[in-house]
Structure 1
Amino acid sequence: MGLLTAFVGFASSFAVVLHGLTGVGASEAQAASGLMALSVSMGLCAIVLSAWTRLPVSIAWSTPGAALLASSGTVEGGFGAAVGGFLICAALIVLAGLWKPLGRMVAAIPATLANAMLAGVLIGLCFAPVKAIAFDPVLGLAIVGAWGIVGAINRLFAVPAALCAFALVLAFGIDIPQGALSAIAGQFLPPLEIVEPVFNLAGVVSIALPLFIVTMASQNIPGIAVLKVNYYEPNPGPLFATTGLFSLLSAPFGGHAVNLAAITAAMCAGEDAHPDPRRRYWAAIVAGVVYVIFGLLAGAVTAFVTLAPPVLIQAVAGLALISAFAGSAMNAFRETDTREAAALTFLTTASGVSFGGISGAFWGLVAGGLMMGLGRLAAKRRSRKA
């Protein structure tokens, strides 16, 4: 189960991470460095936390956070400003774990608005499979078809199947420059690229704050919930703080955030991992070891992916996010009282328009929050008159 968890966790979303890092200005070498730092960090974090707590604590990189980066675009200060935002986000996660009032503030963000912002962030990438089919119907349909057919049989393997189809398309459907594959063979261990952070307002508001909110609301908090559903009683604070610490360690090398896993957490915490609940933490430890190994292959993975037209790897990333988009959209518009505020948050975020150098994700939360506040104020006045 640990091997399967690591394969699914890495294969299903590394394309999103690469697209997100390059979206905020990372070069190919910096993106490979960031992917390596994230994979090694989350592997070591899973090993440390699972061995320490004797709980099956699965760790992942922030896939919604990477999608947020892809929609944010390059901010003032380039990738250095993004790395500055990564560091601030990591510090906030540590603080949320150590200082309970901040954790309560994050939990107090209306779930409808947090989900609406996430849906607005994800929808742009979810268009990518359709764009890939328009770009090349044969190659695009091969990737989407593999995802759909395998997903109808087993949803867990749908995205890995799309990734395998992408690899076959790249190997047999695209002219690869002579000598490219031999060059890739020599890049199994990518050099770590230290990025000098730049701290400015655009990085804080466009990168750090939305990344913190998305990571906490869509990864860390659900990760605790998955453990509780499987009859474990974790102490959230130390877990959050430790993931923030490992995020701090990976940020200077281009990694955006590591956090508690949500989807793969259920794999390690469930009965399939081991009949004895007290032994299931070994699945998370094994997954951590495999994540470290995958991280050492990040250079070759990145170099291989860059041989393909960007729209094809974006298609794989979009397919990986369709389920997350569907869930967040459903949760955003479930309550009739807050539906208009959620719609305003979603539309502002999805527009991709930035104001004053600050991305739409932040303004979407602001707009939806104001709309929700006005609605509640009006409801109070009506109740007083009645």
Structure 2
Amino acid sequence: MREDRTRPVLAGVVTALVGFSSSFAVVIAGLRAVGATPAQAGSGLAALCLAQGIGMILLSWRHRIPLTLAWSTPGAALLVSTGAVTGGWPAAVGAFVLVGLLVLVTAAWPRLGGLVGRIPVPVAQAMLAGVLLTLCLAPVHALATRPTFVLPVLLVWLVLLRLAPRWATPAALALTIALVVVDEVRHSGLPGSSFGHLVWTTPHLTWQAVVGLAVPLFLVTMASQNVPGVAVLGTFGYRVPWRSAMTVTGIGTVLAAPVGGHAVNLAAITAALAASPDASPDPRRRWLATHVAGWCYVFLALASTWLAALVALAPAGVVEAAAGLALLGSLAGALRGAFVADGPREPAVVAFVVAASGVALGGVGAAFWALLAGLVVGAVLHRPTPPVSADTTTGDPAHP
């Protein structure tokens, strides 16, 4: 009986630790890429932890289902590939606010979600794969320039990928941080304490930030996080309260944005940790795992700003290499979604190539142009289905 009571608690702790440790480096890299200082990046990471933690506590208590939230890891990778936008960090923050508002519109007007769903899956997945490729190449580049840092990380990741896949990426990131700590102690010392310090930035919007960052970030968050999150919970027999979930994540994103948070959404990968029978044999008790995970995220927020300051001291490319390992699974999934479907491959290939190029035109990042290019090529190649002919004798539809 005691084991049944502790299993949801342990599952919640594991859910939070795996979710945080497997991708926090991606978030920090993304926020830094669009102009955040180390303090602002740490503030953003802390804000995301608070927003999703409080959201999980409220949603799990209200609906009694293991409704797990997360930050948008593919969205953070999008920030890396986009880089600085016109207007700098305040414009990026304005784009984050707009993403939250669009999510709220989706909650009130489901047709917007339907419009997002009309984007061809191969094109959307190819754009995402091109975005992820930038960070996924980082381990290769870092191995050539920082082998003493990166080689041990790669070995630990590979061994655990065989023995305990769930912990491969968290262990790789933990070892990376440990190596950075040792290096800093030897040279300049560790950063001072700055626990839970939030840094306010007044949002500012430029049209380049709207088109090149807000729109792609919203699309990536919806297509690669919210929709799969609904599907994952569905496999365990839970129905996501869409309006409630989108309202909470939208409000969370809007509130977190001025202090650096880029997007809060439904969890996809870690959702299974709290919703599976491993969390509890009784489906009615699994919500406790999400509830505990929410409180864990609130506590993790306290250490996030210090962790970001430590990451900022790491040698160039080292943390990005660990972040790239964290995204290899997502890259594989995006490539599979882009190229296994029937039909012309050219739209997806064009979207992938343009996104992977990282080229910005008119101050607008490659992700937007990749999506547009894929849609244009798809429209050119589209051949409408010919109307069914009628039998001239009977007037009935002719059968092949």
TM-score, normalised on structure 1?
A: 0.95
Q: What are the superposed Cα offsets for residues 261-308 of structure 1, whole Å, 9 maximum, x if unpaired?
A: 000100100000111000000100100000011111112111221221
2:160 corresponds to 1:188? no
SS of the residue corresponding to residue 201 of structure 2 reads coil
Residues 177 and 238 of structure 1: is their aligned pair in 2 closer, same or farther, counting only changes over 3 Å?
same
TM-aligned CA deviation for residue 138 of structure 1: 2.2
CA contact (8 A) 2:21 2:174 kept: no
TM-aligned CA deviation for residue 107 of structure 1: 1.5
Equivalent position of 1:53 in the other structure: 63
2:19 corresponds to 1:3? no
2:221 corresponds to 1:215? yes
The separation in 1 between residues aligned to 2:387 and 2:113, in whole angstroms, is 33
Residues 382 and 361 of structure 1: is their aligned pair in 2 closer, same or farther, counting only changes over 3 Å?
farther
SS of the residue corresponding to residue 238 of structure 2 reads coil
Equivalent position of 1:365 in the other structure: 371
Q: How does 1:260-271 map to 2 (within 5 A)?
A: 260-271=266-277
2:42 corresponds to 1:36? no
* Residue type at the aligned position of 1:188: F
How much is the aligned-residue C-alpha RMSD, in angstroms?
Answer: 1.7
- State which of 332, 355, 379 in structure 2 corresponds to 1:326: 332
- State which of 3, 22, 41 in structure 2 corresponds to 1:12: 22
CA contact (8 A) 1:176 1:307 kept: no
Equivalent position of 1:24 in the other structure: 34
Which moved further from structure 2: 287-296 or 100-109?
100-109
* Residue type at the aligned position of 1:138: T
Equivalent position of 1:86 in the other structure: 96
2:121 corresponds to 1:108? no
- State which of 312, 316, 321 in structure 1 corresponds to 2:322: 316
Q: What are the superposed Cα offsets for residues 300-335 of structure 1, whole Å, 9 maximum, x if unpaired?
A: 111221221131100110000000001100110112
Q: What are the superposed Cα offsets for residues 311-362 of structure 1, whole Å, 9 maximum, x if unpaired?
A: 1100110000000001100110112413110000000111000111111100
2:292 corresponds to 1:286? yes
SS of the residue corresponding to residue 353 of structure 1 reads coil
The separation in 2 between residues aligned to 1:43 and 1:256, in whole angstroms, is 15
- State which of 139, 142, 145 in structure 2 corresponds to 1:129: 139
TM-aligned CA deviation for residue 133 of structure 1: 0.8
Overall identity of the aligned pairs, in %: 45
SS of the residue corresponding to residue 263 of structure 1 reads coil
Q: What are the superposed Cα offsets for residues 137-158 of structure 1, whole Å, 9 maximum, x if unpaired?
A: 2221111111111111111101
TM-aligned CA deviation for residue 132 of structure 1: 1.3
2:351 corresponds to 1:345? yes
* Residue type at the aligned position of 1:68: L
Equivalent position of 1:170 in the other structure: 180
2:84 corresponds to 1:74? yes
* Residue type at the aligned position of 1:311: G
The separation in 2 between residues aligned to 1:371 and 1:153, in whole angstroms, is 43
* Residue type at the aligned position of 1:189: G
CA contact (8 A) 2:59 2:67 kept: yes
Which blocks of at least 5 consecutive residues in structure 1 are unaligned? Answer: none
The separation in 2 between residues aligned to 1:65 and 1:296, in whole angstroms, is 23
The separation in 1 between residues aligned to 2:353 and 2:196, in whole angstroms, is 41
Which moved further from structure 2: 196-205 or 298-307?
298-307
Equivalent position of 2:230 in the other structure: 224
Q: What are the superposed Cα offsets for residues 187-237 of structure 1, whole Å, 9 maximum, x if unpaired?
A: 2232x1111111111110111100000000000111111111101122222
The separation in 2 between residues aligned to 1:49 and 1:13, in whole angstroms, is 23
SS of the residue corresponding to residue 261 of structure 2 reads coil
The separation in 2 between residues aligned to 1:100 and 1:136, in whole angstroms, is 48
Query: How many residues get paired?
Result: 380
CA contact (8 A) 2:146 2:318 kept: no
The separation in 2 between residues aligned to 1:44 and 1:135, in whole angstroms, is 41
Highest Rg: 1 or 2? 2
TM-aligned CA deviation for residue 101 of structure 1: 1.0
SS of the residue corresponding to residue 239 of structure 2 reads coil
SS of the residue corresponding to residue 26 of structure 1 reads coil
The separation in 2 between residues aligned to 1:93 and 1:365, in whole angstroms, is 20
CA contact (8 A) 1:98 1:238 kept: no
TM-aligned CA deviation for residue 167 of structure 1: 2.5
CA contact (8 A) 2:125 2:335 kept: yes
Residues 300 and 174 of structure 1: is their aligned pair in 2 closer, same or farther, counting only changes over 3 Å?
closer
The separation in 2 between residues aligned to 1:82 and 1:61, in whole angstroms, is 16
TM-score, normalised on structure 2?
A: 0.92
SS of the residue corresponding to residue 265 of structure 2 reads strand
Residues 176 and 96 of structure 1: is their aligned pair in 2 closer, same or farther, counting only changes over 3 Å?
farther
